[in-house]
Amino acid sequence: MGMTMTQKILARHAGLESVRAGQLIQARLDLVLGNDITTPVAINEFEAAGFDRVFDKSRIALVMDHFAPNKDIKAATQCKQCRTFARKFDIDHYYDVGTMGIEHALLPEQGLVAPGEAVIGADSHTCTYGALGAFSTGVGSTDMGAAMAAGETWFKVPSAIRVNLTGKLRPYVSGKDVILTLIGMIGVDGARYQSLEFTGPGVAELSIYDRLTISNMAIEAGAKNGIFPVDDITRAYVAERVDRPWTAYEADPDAEYERTVEIDLSQVDCTVAYPHLPENAHPAREGKDIAIDQIVIGSCTNGQLPDMAAAAEILKGRHLAPGVRGIIIPATQSVYRECMHRGYTDIFLDAGCIVSTPTCGPCLGGYMGILAVGERCVSTTNRNFVGRMGHVDSEVYLASPAVAAASGIAGHIAHPEEI
């Protein structure tokens, strides 16, 4: 029996010739990630267990992004705890205000993840790096604390769903629309405990940023990870960032998949996930009756430079509808800087938006854009659960940067072609 791409990476990291779905393995880790919310709990566990060393100071990344720049005294205290830990163990990849970005945009950009590597992070969207052909998945703080000490962790080898992509995306349609469409098809638990293995000729039609967005939201279908094959697009992205050797794994021709989902990219249109689950997918064209109060463009899902470019293209020479607040958050310092160089920042400001330093803030209802009772937001983030961005009676509509920008101008959910 052949192995999927995910299974091959796991087998290699477990030191095994082969693995099968359901098998429990102990796997070596190439990188362990935490943020300012999850790392403090991991540090507490690490210290309570009496560990006095980390497995490898160059294989731990700590990113202060969720409630940083510190939103309050408690958040400041948590960041300080992380900072103290990073100094004590001389952690190489500690990112604080000034160098930090949103973790899942920052790590690929900084070359901290390469194809074929195995990564865990105490953040559910750690699955993002599947876009680069790596195995990566989210865990909790205790797992992170243990992994910082041991450099390995246990996994149940996942079975797989193959997502076969064909065709080519239409104008204004992006990776976000593809993943919202997929989650709409299979549901928020459609891939629970499984890997999503993206294959097919359509893969070559997706930019690395489309793939990052798609893999990022694999967790919203319940998946353990979502992984893409390594091709020339991956190699071009990685070549500019990674200078260590890496391995491209390919699925065996006889790999076992529990099922195959077919997506013709040319049939995907701009899609919006209505409250309160990411599976509530609706065509953006049918949202005219839904008036909005705010748009948010950013996050680990859609805060990269092409996301900013898509928003700028729509917002250029236009202005937000009266009463709509626009919050734009480039995901990293370099994206932020490039927005200035390319004139996007001026476009955003002229359109009546604000442009923030990198932070996860509004996505999880932390700060920087909390919603009041009854308010609606079109957001390029990844979750629209009850109370996710504020009051329990507020509403989050998930969409691409182009749709969010178009909706901000229209004052209601809108397809970019309507603008």
Partner 1 sequence: MNAHGTVHKYGDHVDTDVIIPARYLNTQSHQELASHCMEDIDKTFITKVKDGDIMVAGVNFGCGSSREHAPIAIKASGISCVIAKNFARIFYRNAINIGLAILECPAASEGIDDGDEVAVDFDTGVITNVTKNETYQAEPFPPFIKDMIAKGGLMASLKAKEARA
| Footprint on this chain of partner 1 (rule: CB under 8 A) | 24, 37-38, 40-41, 44-45, 48-50, 66-67, 71-72, 74-75, 78, 121-124, 126, 138-143, 145-146, 149-150, 154, 188-189, 192-193, 219, 222, 224, 277, 364-366, 383, 385-388, 392
> Whose Cβ is closer to partner 1: residue 66's or residue 325's?
66
Minimum Å gap between C-beta 241 and partner 1 is 25
> Whose Cβ is closer to partner 1: residue 138's or residue 416's?
138
Contact 153, 122 (CB under 8 A): no
Show Cβ contacts of residue 235 under 8 Å, excluding neighbours closer than 6 positions. none
- Classify each residue of 286-309 as buried b or exposed e, where b means 16 or more C-beta atoms within 10 Å of its C-beta: ebeebebbbbbbbbbbbbbbbbbb
Minimum Å gap between C-beta 146 and partner 1 is 5
> Whose Cβ is closer to partner 1: residue 153's or residue 407's?
153
Residue 333 and residue 98: Cα distance in Å, rounded?
8
Contact 408, 322 (CB under 8 A): no
> Whose Cβ is closer to partner 1: residue 189's or residue 258's?
189
Minimum Å gap between C-beta 24 and partner 1 is 5
Minimum Å gap between C-beta 73 and partner 1 is 8
Minimum Å gap between C-beta 82 and partner 1 is 12
> Whose Cβ is closer to partner 1: residue 18's or residue 142's?
142
Contact 64, 358 (CB under 8 A): no
Show Cβ contacts of residue 118 under 8 Å, excluding neighbours closer than 6 positions. 9, 10, 13, 27, 28, 29, 30, 134, 135, 136
> Whose Cβ is closer to partner 1: residue 45's or residue 210's?
45
Minimum Å gap between C-beta 124 and partner 1 is 4
> Whose Cβ is closer to partner 1: residue 44's or residue 334's?
44
Q: Can you list the pairs that 342-347 forms with residues at least 24 positions away whose Cβ atoms lie under 8 Å?
A: 342/309, 342/312, 343/312, 344/308, 344/309, 344/311, 344/312, 347/312, 347/315, 347/316, 347/317
Minimum Å gap between C-beta 153 and partner 1 is 9
Residue 82 and residue 405: Cα distance in Å, rounded?
36
